[in-house]
């Protein structure tokens, strides 16, 4: 036999050489996963307060045989299971809820209220589907342990807090997620979608979610009586000029081929009809995909705000203060093309090609992208898990009605259909990466 023929024969004999679609017995395990989902849905915790949520996930992973470390980067959880020689595959979920009063009308709706860090009483809801993420995460861990004869390597399950405020991934990485624990060769995660029907997933290669920056601008002026504006330098007028001028950054300074969003979400100044104030405060959100575009946005904002203030007659010492919340900044999410194609193929084999959709990038942000921006340059893939009840989706498509979005008080994913799809998709994606040659 020639060498090439021998090699081919060995490949056929190898239990991990061929693409493996797991034979999952979800009918047996789904009641337990649905029970976990309902518990998580009814007991959400805000960012940086996910203590009980972390404990629940840690307990589940310990029962499955993982070596578990909790309180990583806050209330993060890391579960490690070594299953022979092979790559390390990290599966990530996020765990925090949002300060929203749930209005879905579901019998299992969250009724949780808490006092937030500002002292206000707020409702709490998993309005971004993190309860779906966590339940799929545990369901996937169950299946991978049940079918550990189908893969070799190290499985790294990471439950990350504080995604909604952009701090959780940073905190876990700072605490040594990729140094104290096995450095992953692959990182994968899912996010429930409010625009894809349950039973399907969607994804794309390369940029899939945007970078996010929060920027505060304090515009100074020289206040006085509203009847004598000529004796003042009005910061309200300066701020108004700035708001309009900022729109020219995207329209005139950046390439039209590079997506960019600069939104002024808040403007506050003054206290009375006939008083010209001393300052106005602006709050902005910046979005982009290309890191170079982000730097251009910030540099242009600083230049434009200063130029307008000086042109109004202000001294340079009273130039606007531009503050970028670097601690909250998150990079864009870039799906590694080679890895994402492996994930797409594995999921299509498991749930059917017709159930794997191509999607477009969105300007929403996710700190998942940070896992691909480390010194280790780990490839990452985030895919969307359909969450909309199929008949509701079809009805909306026919009528043109708007579906409740993520972060809506009325967002209620079809968990009975989404969860088994998420578990099947993620389990098969992980096995494909473990067995990738």
Q: Which of the residues are catalytic?
A: 96, 163
Task: Quickly list H helices, 14-50.
Answer: 26-42
Residues with Cβ < 8 Å from 299, sequence gap 6 or more?
A: none
Phi, psi for 57 (deg, rounded to 5): -70, -40
**CA angle in degrees (0–180, nearest 5) for 417-105-422:** 20
Bridge pairing between strands 356-358 and 201-203:
parallel
DSSP 205: S
- Distances from the Cα of 328 to the Cαs of 72, 170, 171, in angstroms? 18, 9, 11
Bridge pairing between strands 224-225 and 153-160:
unpaired
Give the side-chain half-sphere CA count within 13 A for 370. Answer: 23
Report the C-alpha gap between 275 and 386 in whole angstroms: 52
Under 8 Å between Cβ of 260 and 249: yes
Report the C-alpha gap between 77 and 27 in whole angstroms: 28
Phi-psi domain of 350 (left: phi exceeds 0; alpha: psi -120 through 50; beta: other): alpha
Give the side-chain half-sphere CA count within 13 A for 259. Answer: 16
Residues with Cβ < 8 Å from 338, sequence gap 6 or more?
A: 379
Residues with Cβ < 8 Å from 86, sequence gap 6 or more?
A: 151, 152, 153, 154, 434
Cα 7 to chain centroid, rounded: 43
Phi-psi domain of 407 (left: phi exceeds 0; alpha: psi -120 through 50; beta: other): left
H or E, element range at 211: strand 206-220
Report the C-alpha gap between 24 and 218 in whole angstroms: 57
């Amino acid at each position: 036999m020639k060498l090439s023929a021998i090699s081919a024969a060995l490949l056929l004999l190898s239990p991990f050489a061929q693409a493996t679609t797991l034979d999952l017995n979800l009918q047996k395990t789904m009641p337990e996963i649905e029970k976990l989902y309902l518990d998580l849905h009814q007991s959400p915790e805000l960012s940086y307060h996910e203590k009980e949520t972390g404990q629940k996930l840690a307990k589940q992973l310990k029962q499955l045989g993982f070596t578990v470390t909790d309180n990583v980067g806050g209330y993060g959880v890391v579960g490690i299971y070594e299953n022979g020689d092979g790559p390390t595959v990290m599966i990530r979920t996020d765990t925090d809820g949002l300060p929203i009063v749930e209005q879905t009308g579901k019998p299992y709706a969250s009724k949780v209220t808490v006092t937030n860090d500002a002292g206000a009483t707020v409702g709490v809801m998993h309005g971004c589907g993190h309860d779906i993420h966590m339940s799929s995460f545990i369901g996937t861990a169950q299946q991978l342990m049940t079918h550990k004869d189908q893969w070799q390597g190290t499985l790294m399950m990471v439950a990350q807090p504080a995604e909604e405020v952009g701090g959780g991934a940073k905190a876990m990485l700072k605490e040594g997620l990729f140094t104290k624990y096995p450095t992953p060769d692959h990182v994968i995660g899912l996010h429930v979608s409010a625009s894809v029907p349950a039973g399907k997933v969607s994804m794309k290669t390369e940029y899939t979610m945007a970078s996010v920056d929060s920027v505060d601008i304090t515009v100074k002026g020289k206040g006085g009586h509203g009847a004598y504006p000529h004796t003042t330098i009005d910061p309200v007028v300066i701020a108004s000029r700035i708001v309009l001028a900022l729109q020219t950054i995207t329209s005139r300074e950046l390439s039209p081929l590079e997506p960019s969003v600069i939104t002024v979400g808040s403007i506050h100044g003054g206290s009375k009809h006939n008083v010209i104030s001393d300052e106005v405060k602006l709050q902005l959100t910046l979005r982009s995909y290309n890191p170079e575009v982000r730097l251009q946005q910030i540099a242009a904002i600083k230049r434009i705000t200063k130029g307008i203030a000086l042109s109004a007659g202000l001294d340079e010492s009273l130039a606007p203060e531009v503050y970028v919340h670097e601690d909250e900044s998150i990079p864009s999410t870039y799906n590694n093309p080679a890895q994402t194609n492996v994930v797409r193929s594995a999921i299509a084999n498991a749930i059917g090609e017709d159930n794997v959709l191509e999607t477009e990038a969105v300007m929403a942000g996710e700190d998942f992208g940070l896992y691909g921006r480390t010194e280790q340059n780990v490839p990452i893939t985030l895919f969307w898990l359909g969450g909309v009840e199929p008949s509701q989706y079809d009805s909306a498509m026919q009528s043109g009605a708007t579906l409740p979005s993520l972060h809506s008080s009325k967002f209620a994913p079809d968990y009975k259909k989404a969860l088994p799809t998420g578990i099947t998709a993620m389990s098969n994606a992980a096995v494909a990466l473990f067995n990738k040659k």
